[in-house]
Amino acid sequence: MVRAAVLVGYGINCDYETSYALKLAGAEVEQVHISGLGEAGLERFEILAIPGGFSFGDDIAAGKMLANKLKAAAGSSIEQFVSDGKLAIGICNGFQALAKYALLPEMGEQKFTLTFNDSGRFEDRWVHLKAEGNSIWTRGISSLYLPVRHGEGKFVAPKEELRHIEREGLVALRYASAEGGKPSYPDNPNGSMNDIAGITDRSGRVLGLMPHPEASLYPTNHPRWTRGERDVLGIELFKNAVKFAEEELV
Protein backbone atom coordinates (compact mmCIF):
# COMPACT_ATOMS: atom_id res chain seq x y z
CA MET A 1 0.00 0.00 0.00
CA VAL A 2 1.18 3.52 -0.77
CA ARG A 3 2.41 5.32 2.34
CA ALA A 4 2.28 9.08 2.69
CA ALA A 5 3.96 11.31 5.28
CA VAL A 6 2.12 14.55 6.13
CA LEU A 7 4.09 17.14 8.08
CA VAL A 8 2.63 18.67 11.24
CA GLY A 9 3.75 21.23 13.79
CA TYR A 10 4.84 24.86 14.30
CA GLY A 11 1.80 26.53 12.77
CA ILE A 12 0.98 24.12 9.96
CA ASN A 13 -2.81 24.01 10.09
CA CYS A 14 -4.01 22.14 7.00
CA ASP A 15 -2.52 18.81 8.06
CA TYR A 16 -5.81 17.08 8.86
CA GLU A 17 -7.40 18.10 5.56
CA THR A 18 -4.33 17.01 3.60
CA SER A 19 -4.14 13.71 5.48
CA TYR A 20 -7.82 13.07 4.80
CA ALA A 21 -7.38 13.85 1.09
CA LEU A 22 -4.57 11.32 0.79
CA LYS A 23 -6.56 8.70 2.73
CA LEU A 24 -9.56 9.32 0.49
CA ALA A 25 -7.27 8.81 -2.51
CA GLY A 26 -6.19 5.42 -1.16
CA ALA A 27 -2.95 6.06 0.73
CA GLU A 28 -1.97 4.97 4.21
CA VAL A 29 -1.14 8.23 5.99
CA GLU A 30 1.16 9.01 8.89
CA GLN A 31 1.39 12.48 10.37
CA VAL A 32 5.03 13.29 11.12
CA HIS A 33 6.14 16.19 13.31
CA ILE A 34 8.78 18.37 11.70
CA SER A 35 11.16 18.03 14.63
CA GLY A 36 11.09 14.24 14.28
CA LEU A 37 11.29 14.11 10.51
CA GLY A 38 14.91 13.01 10.52
CA GLU A 39 14.07 9.97 12.64
CA ALA A 40 10.83 9.15 10.83
CA GLY A 41 12.56 7.10 8.14
CA LEU A 42 11.41 8.88 5.00
CA GLU A 43 12.51 5.88 2.95
CA ARG A 44 9.36 4.13 4.25
CA PHE A 45 7.14 6.54 2.35
CA GLU A 46 6.30 7.12 -1.30
CA ILE A 47 4.64 10.53 -0.85
CA LEU A 48 5.64 13.54 1.24
CA ALA A 49 3.13 16.36 1.78
CA ILE A 50 3.94 19.77 3.24
CA PRO A 51 0.54 21.30 3.97
CA GLY A 52 -0.56 24.90 4.18
CA GLY A 53 -0.78 27.11 7.23
CA PHE A 54 1.26 29.82 8.86
CA SER A 55 4.38 28.02 10.01
CA PHE A 56 6.38 29.99 12.57
CA GLY A 57 3.90 32.85 12.18
CA ASP A 58 5.37 33.65 8.74
CA ASP A 59 8.25 35.36 10.56
CA ILE A 60 10.96 36.81 8.27
CA ALA A 61 9.03 35.64 5.21
CA ALA A 62 6.32 33.04 4.63
CA GLY A 63 7.86 29.57 4.57
CA LYS A 64 11.41 30.75 5.31
CA MET A 65 11.62 29.45 8.87
CA LEU A 66 9.93 26.20 7.84
CA ALA A 67 12.46 25.71 5.04
CA ASN A 68 15.33 26.28 7.48
CA LYS A 69 13.79 23.86 9.98
CA LEU A 70 13.37 21.19 7.31
CA LYS A 71 17.00 21.54 6.27
CA ALA A 72 18.18 21.32 9.86
CA ALA A 73 15.89 18.45 10.87
CA ALA A 74 16.08 16.24 7.81
CA GLY A 75 17.79 17.95 4.89
CA SER A 76 19.73 14.92 3.66
CA SER A 77 16.68 12.64 4.04
CA ILE A 78 14.43 15.00 2.09
CA GLU A 79 16.96 15.47 -0.69
CA GLN A 80 17.48 11.70 -0.92
CA PHE A 81 13.70 11.23 -1.01
CA VAL A 82 13.45 13.57 -4.00
CA SER A 83 16.52 12.06 -5.70
CA ASP A 84 14.95 8.61 -5.36
CA GLY A 85 12.03 9.74 -7.50
CA LYS A 86 9.46 9.78 -4.73
CA LEU A 87 6.48 12.17 -4.87
CA ALA A 88 6.23 15.43 -2.94
CA ILE A 89 3.71 18.24 -2.77
CA GLY A 90 3.90 21.63 -1.09
CA ILE A 91 0.60 23.45 -0.72
CA CYS A 92 0.44 27.21 -0.02
CA ASN A 93 2.84 27.63 2.93
CA GLY A 94 4.34 24.31 1.83
CA PHE A 95 5.00 25.77 -1.62
CA GLN A 96 6.62 28.80 -0.01
CA ALA A 97 8.85 26.43 1.96
CA LEU A 98 9.80 24.42 -1.15
CA ALA A 99 10.78 27.67 -2.87
CA LYS A 100 12.94 28.88 0.00
CA TYR A 101 14.44 25.43 0.57
CA ALA A 102 15.33 25.47 -3.16
CA LEU A 103 13.75 22.09 -3.99
CA LEU A 104 11.92 23.63 -6.95
CA PRO A 105 12.36 23.81 -9.84
CA GLU A 106 15.45 21.78 -8.96
CA MET A 107 17.65 21.31 -5.93
CA GLY A 108 20.29 23.98 -5.51
CA GLU A 109 20.11 27.72 -5.08
CA GLN A 110 16.79 29.49 -4.64
CA LYS A 111 15.59 30.67 -8.05
CA PHE A 112 12.18 32.21 -7.30
CA THR A 113 10.04 33.31 -4.41
CA LEU A 114 6.46 33.89 -3.33
CA THR A 115 5.98 37.37 -1.95
CA PHE A 116 3.30 39.86 -0.89
CA ASN A 117 0.12 40.03 -2.95
CA ASP A 118 -0.22 43.04 -5.23
CA SER A 119 -3.52 43.81 -3.51
CA GLY A 120 -1.62 44.42 -0.27
CA ARG A 121 -4.00 42.20 1.67
CA PHE A 122 -4.83 38.61 2.49
CA GLU A 123 -6.75 36.95 -0.37
CA ASP A 124 -9.39 34.35 0.48
CA ARG A 125 -11.33 33.36 -2.64
CA TRP A 126 -11.87 30.58 -5.19
CA VAL A 127 -9.92 30.79 -8.45
CA HIS A 128 -9.97 29.15 -11.86
CA LEU A 129 -6.81 27.32 -12.91
CA LYS A 130 -5.43 25.90 -16.13
CA ALA A 131 -3.23 22.81 -15.85
CA GLU A 132 -0.30 22.25 -18.17
CA GLY A 133 3.13 20.65 -18.28
CA ASN A 134 4.20 17.19 -17.21
CA SER A 135 3.30 16.98 -13.53
CA ILE A 136 2.22 13.53 -12.39
CA TRP A 137 -0.12 15.24 -9.94
CA THR A 138 -2.14 16.96 -12.70
CA ARG A 139 -2.25 14.15 -15.27
CA GLY A 140 -5.47 14.15 -17.25
CA ILE A 141 -6.58 17.45 -15.74
CA SER A 142 -7.07 20.53 -17.92
CA SER A 143 -8.71 22.88 -15.43
CA LEU A 144 -9.47 23.22 -11.72
CA TYR A 145 -11.45 25.49 -9.44
CA LEU A 146 -9.79 25.76 -6.03
CA PRO A 147 -9.61 28.18 -3.10
CA VAL A 148 -6.63 30.35 -2.24
CA ARG A 149 -6.00 31.85 1.17
CA HIS A 150 -2.71 33.67 1.45
CA GLY A 151 -1.04 37.02 1.95
CA GLU A 152 2.24 36.13 0.20
CA GLY A 153 1.33 34.23 -2.94
CA LYS A 154 2.82 36.32 -5.74
CA PHE A 155 5.19 34.20 -7.85
CA VAL A 156 8.28 36.24 -8.70
CA ALA A 157 11.43 35.13 -10.54
CA PRO A 158 14.26 36.85 -12.42
CA LYS A 159 13.53 37.13 -16.13
CA GLU A 160 16.15 34.56 -17.07
CA GLU A 161 14.79 32.03 -14.57
CA LEU A 162 11.23 32.72 -15.66
CA ARG A 163 12.21 32.02 -19.26
CA HIS A 164 13.88 28.80 -18.12
CA ILE A 165 10.78 27.65 -16.23
CA GLU A 166 8.57 28.41 -19.24
CA ARG A 167 10.96 26.88 -21.77
CA GLU A 168 11.33 23.64 -19.80
CA GLY A 169 7.57 23.27 -19.31
CA LEU A 170 7.79 23.46 -15.53
CA VAL A 171 4.62 25.50 -15.04
CA ALA A 172 1.98 23.13 -13.69
CA LEU A 173 -0.88 25.53 -12.98
CA ARG A 174 -1.83 29.05 -14.06
CA TYR A 175 -4.55 31.36 -12.85
CA ALA A 176 -7.22 31.89 -15.49
CA SER A 177 -10.45 33.77 -16.02
CA ALA A 178 -13.76 31.93 -15.68
CA GLU A 179 -13.71 31.47 -19.46
CA GLY A 180 -10.18 30.06 -19.35
CA GLY A 181 -8.51 33.15 -20.76
CA LYS A 182 -5.97 35.69 -19.52
CA PRO A 183 -6.88 36.70 -15.97
CA SER A 184 -6.85 40.04 -14.25
CA TYR A 185 -7.45 40.71 -10.57
CA PRO A 186 -9.12 38.97 -8.78
CA ASP A 187 -8.81 35.96 -11.13
CA ASN A 188 -5.06 36.25 -10.59
CA PRO A 189 -5.42 37.02 -6.88
CA ASN A 190 -1.84 38.00 -6.12
CA GLY A 191 -0.26 39.39 -9.30
CA SER A 192 1.92 36.34 -10.00
CA MET A 193 4.25 36.72 -12.96
CA ASN A 194 2.91 34.91 -16.03
CA ASP A 195 -0.12 33.99 -13.88
CA ILE A 196 1.82 31.12 -12.33
CA ALA A 197 -0.03 29.31 -9.54
CA GLY A 198 2.15 26.21 -9.33
CA ILE A 199 5.31 24.67 -10.74
CA THR A 200 6.88 21.23 -10.91
CA ASP A 201 10.37 19.82 -11.20
CA ARG A 202 11.59 18.20 -14.43
CA SER A 203 10.45 14.75 -13.34
CA GLY A 204 6.93 15.98 -12.66
CA ARG A 205 7.03 14.28 -9.26
CA VAL A 206 7.50 17.34 -7.03
CA LEU A 207 4.69 19.90 -7.16
CA GLY A 208 4.31 23.24 -5.43
CA LEU A 209 1.09 25.24 -5.67
CA MET A 210 -0.59 28.11 -3.85
CA PRO A 211 -4.25 26.97 -4.21
CA HIS A 212 -5.61 24.33 -1.81
CA PRO A 213 -6.65 21.04 -3.51
CA GLU A 214 -7.31 19.46 -0.09
CA ALA A 215 -10.22 21.89 0.30
CA SER A 216 -11.96 20.49 -2.79
CA LEU A 217 -12.73 16.83 -2.18
CA TYR A 218 -16.49 16.58 -2.69
CA PRO A 219 -18.94 18.36 -5.03
CA THR A 220 -20.49 20.02 -1.98
CA ASN A 221 -17.18 21.80 -1.29
CA HIS A 222 -17.87 23.93 -4.39
CA PRO A 223 -19.16 27.35 -3.26
CA ARG A 224 -21.96 27.21 -5.83
CA TRP A 225 -22.84 23.53 -5.72
CA THR A 226 -26.49 24.29 -4.94
CA ARG A 227 -26.69 26.01 -8.32
CA GLY A 228 -25.51 22.83 -10.01
CA GLU A 229 -22.04 24.12 -10.86
CA ARG A 230 -19.40 21.41 -11.17
CA ASP A 231 -15.65 21.56 -11.74
CA VAL A 232 -12.79 19.06 -11.51
CA LEU A 233 -12.15 18.46 -7.81
CA GLY A 234 -8.82 18.80 -6.03
CA ILE A 235 -9.05 15.17 -4.91
CA GLU A 236 -8.03 14.20 -8.45
CA LEU A 237 -4.47 15.46 -7.80
CA PHE A 238 -4.12 13.12 -4.84
CA LYS A 239 -5.64 10.20 -6.76
CA ASN A 240 -3.11 10.76 -9.54
CA ALA A 241 -0.24 10.66 -7.05
CA VAL A 242 -1.45 7.52 -5.28
CA LYS A 243 -2.09 5.72 -8.57
CA PHE A 244 1.37 6.55 -9.87
CA ALA A 245 2.99 5.45 -6.61
CA GLU A 246 1.07 2.16 -6.70
CA GLU A 247 2.24 1.46 -10.24
CA GLU A 248 5.81 2.74 -10.08
CA LEU A 249 7.06 2.99 -6.49
CA VAL A 250 5.49 0.30 -4.29
- Which residues are catalytically annotated? 92, 212, 214
Give, for 5, the enclosing helix (H) or strand (E).
strand 3-8
**In angstroms, rounded to a whole number, what is the distance separating the alpha carbons of residues 22 and 2?**
10
**In angstroms, rounded to a whole number, what is the distance separating the alpha carbons of residues 153 and 112?**
12
**Residue 116 region by backbone torsions, left for phi larger than 0, else alpha for psi between -120 and 50, else beta:** beta
Strands (E), 101-192: 113-115, 123-131, 143-150, 154-156, 171-176
**In angstroms, rounded to a whole number, what is the distance separating the alpha carbons of residues 23 and 30?**
10
**Residue 93 region by backbone torsions, left for phi larger than 0, else alpha for psi between -120 and 50, else beta:** alpha
**In angstroms, rounded to a whole number, what is the distance separating the alpha carbons of residues 190 and 116?**
8
